[in-house]
């Protein structure tokens, strides 16, 4: 029986990429050979999925159609694939499989791309969209898609080498991921992270992108002034693959609702996930060892957070009570 060669067009955010792992598992289990086309900052997620045979890093940037670049890559890929699964909803994400003349092209309707897809799923309204794992797994065309949990795996030797490179010892530190690309209304205050770091019984490793270095330094500097060496700021200083290794080997991780939260969940490490403007009903950490802190769900919290979830980048009311009122001691009791 001939192998079906499939191309998956990956989402452009780390958290969403993690949410596609159950889809990869389903496709590989039924005999499809999987190649994932992903942007460079998302590619490491797929290298941690054993179901994926090949990862192609797309030479595209955020924004713009970049038609010439897509047509050039499509010409290189033509004839290699039987099926394409397009995870994002954008027009440009569906363009490459069309230009590569892939016979079967599966995706959700959206952005006037009817003619680019051969198999179209109706896109649910945003207020009625299912959890993201189910949303992506539906591209498989299979039923019973709601219960899958993402799982990532790393090579043990590579993890140990990454830890050695970073000067870390397995289980000997905590990880903080204080960033959230979406905006401040998803970020627990830096002062609260710093207070938590002061109270912990082991060093703290701060992870994030180069854009989050200053935020991480705002946490690390005052703590290190009192307890030298307590916090190590790796934001923007290590590869995403090494950051994955640090997360996989940590005692526990504290994060906002972010891509690294989903990475931690897929590694099954103990974690505390702090939610503010977003909702754990839609994007929870799918991990039996996760604790979610969301004041909207706290019946003892007064006055109730009638404004949550607002899904705003910045607090429309200017107080960000949903995050400010979660104290370091609240997090500490779950570590």
Is 41 part of any domain? yes
Higher pLDDT, 147 or 297: 297
- Using the predicted structure, report yes or no on whether residue 113 has a pLDDT greater than 90: no
Show which of 82, 110, 140 is a domain's final residue.
140
For residue 217, the SS3 value is: helix
How is residue 122 annotated by DSSP?
Answer: P
Residues 306 and 210 in one domain: yes
Higher pLDDT, 129 or 82: 82
Residue corresponding to tokens 């830890």: 163
Question: What does the pLDDT average to over 265-269?
Answer: 97
1: pLDDT confidence band, cut at 50, 70 and 90?
low
- Rounded to 5°, the CA angle 95-101-104 comes to 90
For residue 34, the SS3 value is: strand
Show which of 140, 167, 194 is a domain's final residue.
140
Is 151 part of any domain? no
Is 147 part of any domain? no
pLDDT of residue 123: 86
Residues 166 and 314 in one domain: yes
Residues 276 and 171 in one domain: yes
Count the neighbouring beta carbons within 10 Å of the beta carbon of residue 56. 16
Cα torsion 230, 233, 238, 240 to 10°: value is 100
Q: Note the pLDDT tens digit of each residue in 212-222.
A: 999 999 999 99
Residues 264 and 326 in one domain: yes
What is the percentage of the chain residues whose pLDDT exceeds 70? Answer: 99
Q: What is the residue range of 238's domain?
A: 156-332
Residues 123 and 253 in one domain: no
Contacting residues for 292 by C-beta, under 8 A, at least 6 apart? 272, 273, 275, 280, 284, 285
Please count the structural domains in the chain: 2
Before 309, cis peptide (omega within 30)? yes
Q: Are 12 and 62 in contact (CB under 8 A)?
A: yes
Contacting residues for 46 by C-beta, under 8 A, at least 6 apart? 10, 17, 24, 36, 38, 52, 55
Instruction: Give 250: exposed, middle or buried? Use CB within 10 Å, 0-12, 13-18, 19+.
Output: buried
Contacting residues for 259 by C-beta, under 8 A, at least 6 apart? 13, 14, 15, 17, 18, 181
The neighbouring-strand residues paired with 54 are 35
Residues 96 and 207 in one domain: no
What is d(CA 155, CA 220) in angstroms, rounded to the nearest whole number? 30
What is d(CA 191, CA 204) in angstroms, rounded to the nearest whole number? 15
How is residue 167 annotated by DSSP?
Answer: T
CATH number, domain with residue 107: 3.40.50.2000
Is 228 part of any domain? yes
Show which of 108, 140, 172 is a domain's final residue.
140
For residue 7, the SS3 value is: strand
Tokens for 78? Answer: 């033509």
Residues 203 and 83 in one domain: no
Q: Note the pLDDT tens digit of each residue in 27-66.
A: 999 999 999 999 999 999 999 999 999 999 998 877 777 8
Is 173 part of any domain? yes
What is d(CA 177, CA 71) in angstroms, rounded to the nearest whole number? 37
CA nearest 104: which of 37, 3, 6, 34?
Answer: 6
């Amino acid at each position: 029986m001939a192998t079906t060669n499939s191309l998956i067009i990956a989402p452009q955010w780390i958290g969403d990429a993690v949410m596609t792992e159950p889809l990869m598992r389903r496709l590989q289990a039924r005999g499809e050979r999987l190649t994932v086309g992903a942007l460079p900052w998302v590619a490491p997620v797929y290298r941690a999925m054993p179901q994926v045979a090949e990862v192609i890093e797309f030479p595209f940037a955020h924004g713009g159609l970049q038609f010439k670049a897509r047509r050039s890559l499509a010409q290189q890929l033509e004839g290699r694939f039987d099926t394409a699964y397009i995870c994002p909803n954008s027009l440009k994400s569906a363009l490459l499989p069309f230009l590569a003349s892939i016979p079967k092209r599966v995706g959700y309707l959206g952005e006037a791309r009817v003619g680019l897809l051969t198999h179209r799923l109706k896109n649910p309204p945003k207020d009625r969209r299912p959890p993201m794992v189910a949303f992506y797994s539906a591209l498989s065309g299979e039923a019973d898609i709601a219960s899958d949990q993402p799982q990532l795996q790393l090579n043990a030797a590579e993890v140990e080498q990454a830890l050695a490179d970073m000067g870390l010892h397995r289980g000997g530190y905590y990880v903080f991921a204080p960033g959230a690309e979406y905006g401040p209304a998803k970020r627990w205050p830096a002062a609260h992270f710093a207070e938590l770091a002061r109270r912990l019984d082991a060093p703290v490793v701060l992870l994030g992108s180069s854009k989050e270095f200053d935020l991480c330094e705002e946490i690390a500097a005052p703590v290190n002034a009192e307890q030298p060496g307590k916090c190590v700021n790796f934001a923007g200083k290590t590869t995403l693959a090494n950051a994955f290794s640090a997360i996989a080997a940590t005692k526990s991780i504290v994060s906002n609702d972010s891509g690294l939260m989903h990475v931690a969940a897929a590694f099954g490490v103990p974690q505390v996930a702090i939610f503010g403007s977003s909702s754990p009903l839609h994007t929870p950490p799918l991990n039996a060892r996760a604790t979610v802190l969301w004041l909207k769900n706290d019946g003892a919290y007064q006055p109730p957070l009638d404004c949550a979830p607002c899904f705003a980048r910045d607090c429309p009311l200017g107080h960000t009570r949903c995050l400010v009122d979660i104290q370091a001691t609240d997090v500490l009791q779950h570590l």
